[in-house]
Amino acid sequence: MSMRLLNTLSGRVEVFEPLVDHDVRMYTCGPTVYDYAHIGNYRTFVFQDILRRFLKYRGYRVLQVMNLTDVDDKTIRNAQAEGLSLRDYTQKFVDAFLVDRDLLSLDPPEVLVRATDHIAEMVKLVERLEQAGFAYRSGGSVYFRVSKFKDYGKLSKIDLSGNLAGARVDADEYEKDSARDFVLWKAAKPGEPSWDAPFGPGRPGWHLECSAMAMTYLGETFDIHSGGSDLIFPHHENEIAQAEAATGKPFARFWLHAEHLLVNGEKMSKSLANFYTLRDLIARGAKPSAIRYLLASVPYHKRLNFTFEGLHQAGKSIERLRNFRFRLTKEEFPETANPAIDESIRKAAQSFEEALDNNLNTAEALAPVFVLISEANAAMDGGTFPLQARAACLNLLDRWDRIFVVLEDCDHQKLQQHGLLQDVRANSGGTTGGEEADHANGSPAAQVPSFTDAEIEKLIGLRAAARRGGNYAESDRIREDLLQAGVILEDTKAGARWRRK
């Protein structure tokens, strides 16, 4: 079965094939590094990660370019307020983004680039547009003449005859010939960072950054371009106009857009102050793996409402998956035949792949694995789970986890590595339920005693030895120490199993 994706350009689900061989070239709009990204942003980045993982799963090579928007009104304003250079100010948030990316198991793109490292390419693109008659100078800035580009509106299907309600209106842009024209190059303002250009000192417009960087690394026509749905207009519409006006060739073939993460029915965004950063949720005891699972659990083209209850359920689903794998690896099974289980495994594998082929339907890719888990668990409890099904189940889980990446319990280790463990509240008990959408800023972070995985394994070994020797006081003490450190022990037929709260 071939992969099908919803292309915003055509408005249809289309069969996806790369332009060249098995090489997928894709551009993804990255974060604006003026602050910590919120989990709405990460919904889009998780979708892009699942997309690239599944493309690879299907045997494609992926060349993904992601930009870091490190110059715009917000980055400049904040850097000035802190008395830092643009580079020094934004570096902190670039670093934070890289940490978040690791916590959420987002594969690094092949190319991650800062806009301010590509000013020369942007200036060249403006020159090309001037030569082709699509750009004009006014008041030291350069603008794109929208009326000259006949295809304008083909992505967003925007009707230009009416007013442009909802479009971003830039106070700097009062010298435009037409309200719908947009800025390519903004004239330098006193005290703001600027770069020299043949058309006068200034800085690039946001849309220009992406067109120039995409074409630098991926060529004039490439396979996939994506971002959140708020970028369709004007950002992506303008990217198309700039690139196609300059080259006369199609820019991106497939445009994919993630629908928004909502809070109480409204888009999670900085301006509505209804957002959580990853760190906010970690400070409330949430596990990055549960956040990843939650963000992935609803198909990317559908809205997802964030709730703490949903996050709690995501954590529970991961536990179920991990417990199942634990049973599979540790328990003993009879050498019997059980065609019903064989059939469940086959069906789960098939529906998981079919669901992802079908426009990355992650919800339907999750469900069949849980059906299998219920059936297999029942067979295990009844002693009818066949030994030969063990390998097939493990194989399925491994393949499934190449996309979802939640089976290994790496949260603790990663939080520790990034110095974020002290943020975890001792009494959190995993994710908290049903809290108000306020921010965790005021709550003091409690220090949690912590053990490494190796130390936990060692203590469990000592506890088992104490129990074998009849020293139950000692074994209880070890269990209590572990509990204090947030490690829960569970004695199963297959031995003690532990997990972090």
| DSSP annotation of 155 | T
For residue 330, give every residue at least 6 positions away whose Cβ sits within 8 Å of its Cβ, in sequence order, or none: 492, 494, 495, 497
Binding mask 188-227 for Zn ion (x = CB under 5 A): ----------------------x-----------------
Whether the CB-CB separation of 194 and 185 falls below 8 Å is answered with no
Single out the residue of 187, 226, 198, 230 nearest to residue 210, CA to CA: 226
Q: Which is nearer to ligand AMP, 75 or 141 (CB)?
A: 75
In this structure, how many other beta carbons lie within 10 angstroms of the beta carbon of residue 56?
15
210 contact choice in ligand AMP, Zn ion, none (CB below 5 to 8 Å, kind-dependent): Zn ion
We find the least distance from the C-beta atom of residue 236 to Zn ion, in angstroms, to be 7
We find the least distance from the C-beta atom of residue 351 to ligand AMP, in angstroms, to be 27
Binding mask 20-59 for Zn ion (x = CB under 5 A): ---------x------------------------------
Q: Is the peptide bond before 108 cis (omega within 30 degrees of 0)?
A: no
Separation CA 100–CA 280 (nearest Å):
12
Which stretch in 26-34, 88-96, 285-293, 393-401 sits in contact with ligand AMP by CB under 6 A?
Answer: 26-34
Q: Which listed residue (18, 227, 299, 430) binds ligand AMP by CB under 6 A?
A: 227
Range 37-76, binding ligand AMP (CB under 6 A): 40-41, 43-44, 69
261 contact choice in Zn ion, ligand AMP, none (CB below 5 to 8 Å, kind-dependent): ligand AMP
We find the least distance from the C-beta atom of residue 60 to ligand AMP, in angstroms, to be 22
Structural tokens at position 228: 């959140």
- The SS3 assignment for 20 reads strand
We find the least distance from the C-beta atom of residue 231 to Zn ion, in angstroms, to be 6
260 binds ligand AMP (CB under 6 A): yes
- Which residue has 């990355």 as its token pair? 360
109 contact choice in ligand AMP, Zn ion, none (CB below 5 to 8 Å, kind-dependent): none
Separation CA 202–CA 370 (nearest Å):
56
Q: Which is nearer to ligand AMP, 76 or 268 (CB)?
A: 268
Separation CA 456–CA 150 (nearest Å):
65
268 binds ligand AMP (CB under 6 A): yes
Q: Which is nearer to ligand AMP, 69 or 105 (CB)?
A: 69
Which stretch in 24-32, 91-99, 244-252, 331-339 sits in contact with ligand AMP by CB under 6 A?
Answer: 24-32
| Count of residues interacting with ligand AMP (CB under 6 A) | 18
Separation CA 235–CA 226 (nearest Å):
11
Structural tokens at position 470: 């009849």
268 contact choice in Zn ion, ligand AMP, none (CB below 5 to 8 Å, kind-dependent): ligand AMP
Separation CA 28–CA 292 (nearest Å):
18
Q: Is 17 exposed, middle or buried (0-12, 13-18, 19+ CB in 10 A)?
A: middle
For residue 333, give every residue at least 6 positions away whose Cβ sits within 8 Å of its Cβ, in sequence order, or none: 380, 385, 386, 387, 389, 390
- Which residue has 């978040």 as its token pair? 100
Structural tokens at position 86: 């643009």
Single out the residue of 244, 233, 228 nearest to residue 301, CA to CA: 228
Single out the residue of 25, 23, 9 nearest to residue 215, CA to CA: 25
188 contact choice in Zn ion, ligand AMP, none (CB below 5 to 8 Å, kind-dependent): none
Which stretch in 27-35, 60-68, 371-379, 384-392 sits in contact with ligand AMP by CB under 6 A?
Answer: 27-35
Residue nearest to ligand AMP (CB): 228
75 contact choice in ligand AMP, Zn ion, none (CB below 5 to 8 Å, kind-dependent): none
- The SS3 assignment for 187 reads strand
365 contact choice in Zn ion, ligand AMP, none (CB below 5 to 8 Å, kind-dependent): none
Handedness of CA 362, 365, 369, 372 (dihedral sign): positive
Binding residues for Zn ion (CB under 5 A) = 29, 210
Binding residues for ligand AMP (CB under 6 A) = 29, 31-32, 40-41, 43-44, 69, 227-228, 230-231, 258, 260-261, 267-269
